[in-house]
C-alpha cells in the first residue's frame, strides 16, 4: 500500500502546471479564488495541514504558528524572502521552513536594470507627454535626462541579485561600488571591477545611482534611514526592487518633493499594497506594482522548488532550501 500523501494547503493560486503536479504528488488543497487568506483562515490551515505553502503576502507570524496543529512540520514558502514568516517561532515548534532562492535572480536583476535606465532618462515622463498630446516635435532642450554611462552605481547588498545587477550595469558602462556585510570573493570583485565600501554612509555620499538589493530583516529595517538618505547627492537616483521596508519611505517622499534627490524607481513599498500619496504625485518617480520577479518562467521555477522541498521532506530527507537562523 502506498504511503499516505501529505496534506498540502496552498494559500494563493499558483501556475496551472505547478498546481497540477502538486495535485499528482500530494493531497493538495488549492486556493482557486486566489483571495488572500485572513489570519483566521491561516490559523485554520496550519491546524489541519502537514505542509503549508504560503506566499510573501501571507503573514505567518507567531500568532498563527503557535496555533499550528501537531501534523504541521513544513512551511514551504513560495518566495525567496521569508520576512513574512516568524522563522524562529516555527523552528522552536519543530517546523521546518524552506524558500525558493536563486530562481528569481535574473528576472529581478533585469527589472532593476530597467529602472536604472528608465529613471535618469525620464522614460515614464516621456510616455505621459505622448499620451497627453504635449509632443510638438524635437527640440534641443526637450525632455533632457541624464547619461547613465560612466556614472557610479552603489549596490546595497551584493548577494545573487546584487551581483547580477552589477554584471548588467558594468555592460552599460557604470562603475560598480557596493556595500555588504563582508566583501565578495576577490574573483567576483575582479570580474565586476567592483569597489567595496565597509561604510554605507561613505558610499551613499559618493554615488550617482543607488540600487537596493538586500533582504528585509530586523537588521535592514530602514537601513536607508532619514539620516542616510540625506547623505546622498541631490543629483543622485535611488532604485529599490528588494523590500520597501529597507527605505524610510516618508523621508524619501519628502526629499523627492523638495528636490533633494533627483529621482527614484520603486517596485516595492513600505506598506504594500498602499503607496505613499506623495510618491504618487511626484513627477520624478517611476512606480511599479511589485513586479520585479513577475515572469512566467520565474513563477514556474519557484513552484518547482517548492515541490522539490516538499517531496524531499516527505521522503524523510532534509529539503535543499531550508531556512536557518544564520541565513537571516
Would you say 15 and 41 are in contact if contact means Cβ atoms under 8 Å apart?
Answer: no
Chain centroid to Cα 295, Å, comes to 14
Would you say 13 and 37 are in contact if contact means Cβ atoms under 8 Å apart?
Answer: no
85: left (phi over 0), alpha (psi -120 to 50) or beta: beta
Would you say 221 and 249 are in contact if contact means Cβ atoms under 8 Å apart?
Answer: no
Would you say 172 and 156 are in contact if contact means Cβ atoms under 8 Å apart?
Answer: no
Question: Partners of 238 in the beta sheet?
Answer: 210, 264
272 counts as catalytic: yes
Closest by CA to 116, choosing from 194, 168, 73, is 168
243 counts as catalytic: yes
SS3 call for 211: strand
Q: Helix and strand tally (H, E) in the chain?
A: 13, 12
185 counts as catalytic: no
Residues 6+ apart with CB under 8 A from 212: 156, 157, 224, 238, 239, 240, 241, 242, 246, 247
CA distance 139 to 144: 10
Cell numbers representing residue 12 in the block: 494563493
Select which of 23, 206, 290, 322 is catalytic: 290
Select which of 179, 243, 245, 249 is catalytic: 243
CA distance 108 to 294: 8
φ and ψ at 294, to 5 degrees? Answer: -85, 75
Strands 7-10 and 27-29: parallel
Cis peptide before 273 (omega within 30 of 0): yes
Closest by CA to 287, choosing from 239, 216, 235, 222, is 239
The residues carrying an active-site annotation are 243, 272, 290
Amino acid at each position: 500500500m502506498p504511503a499516505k500523501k501529505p496534506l498540502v494547503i496552498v494559500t494563493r493560486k499558483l501556475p496551472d502546471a505547478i498546481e497540477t503536479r502538486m495535485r499528482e504528488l500530494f493531497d493538495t488543497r488549492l486556493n482557486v479564488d486566489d483571495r488572500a487568506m485572513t489570519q483566521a483562515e491561516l490559523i485554520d490551515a496550519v491546524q489541519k495541514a502537514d505542509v503549508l505553502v504560503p506566499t510573501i503576502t501571507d503573514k505567518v507570524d507567531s500568532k498563527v504558528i503557535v496555533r499550528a496543529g501537531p501534523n504541521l512540520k513544513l512551511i514551504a514558502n513560495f518566495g525567496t524572502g521569508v520576512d513574512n514568516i516568524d522563522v524562529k517561532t516555527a523552528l522552536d515548534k519543530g517546523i521546518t521552513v524552506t524558500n525558493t532562492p536563486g530562481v528569481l535572480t535574473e528576472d529581478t536583476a533585469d527589472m532593476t536594470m530597467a529602472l536604472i535606465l528608465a529613471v535618469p532618462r525620464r522614460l515614464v515622463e516621456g510616455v505621459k507627454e505622448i499620451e497627453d498630446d504635449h509632443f510638438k516635435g524635437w527640440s534641443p532642450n526637450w525632455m533632457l535626462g541624464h547619461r547613465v554611462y560612466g556614472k557610479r552605481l552603489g549596490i546595497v547588498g551584493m548577494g545573487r541579485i546584487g551581483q547580477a545587477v552589477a554584471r548588467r550595469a558594468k555592460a552599460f558602462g557604470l562603475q560598480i561600488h557596493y556595500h555588504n556585510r563582508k566583501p565578495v570573493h576577490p574573483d567576483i570583485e575582479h570580474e565586476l571591477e567592483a569597489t567595496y565600501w565597509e561604510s554605507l554612509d561613505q558610499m551613499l555620499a559618493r554615488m550617482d545611482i543607488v540600487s537596493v538589493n538586500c533582504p528585509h530583516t530586523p537588521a535592514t529595517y530602514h537601513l536607508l534611514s532619514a539620516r542616510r538618505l540625506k547623505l546622498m547627492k541631490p543629483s543622485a537616483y535611488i532604485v529599490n526592487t528588494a523590500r520597501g521596508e529597507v527605505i524610510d519611505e516618508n523621508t524619501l517622499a519628502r526629499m523627492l518633493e523638495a528636490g533633494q534627490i533627483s529621482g527614484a524607481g520603486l517596485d516595492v513599498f513600505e506598506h504594500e499594497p498602499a503607496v505613499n500619496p506623495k510618491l504618487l504625485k511626484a513627477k520624478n518617480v517611476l512606480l511599479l506594482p511589485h513586479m520585479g520577479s513577475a515572469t512566467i518562467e520565474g513563477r514556474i521555477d519557484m513552484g518547482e522548488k517548492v515541490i522539490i522541498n516538499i517531496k524531499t521532506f516527505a521522503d524523510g530527507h532534509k529539503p535543499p532550501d531550508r531556512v536557518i537562523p544564520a541565513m537571516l
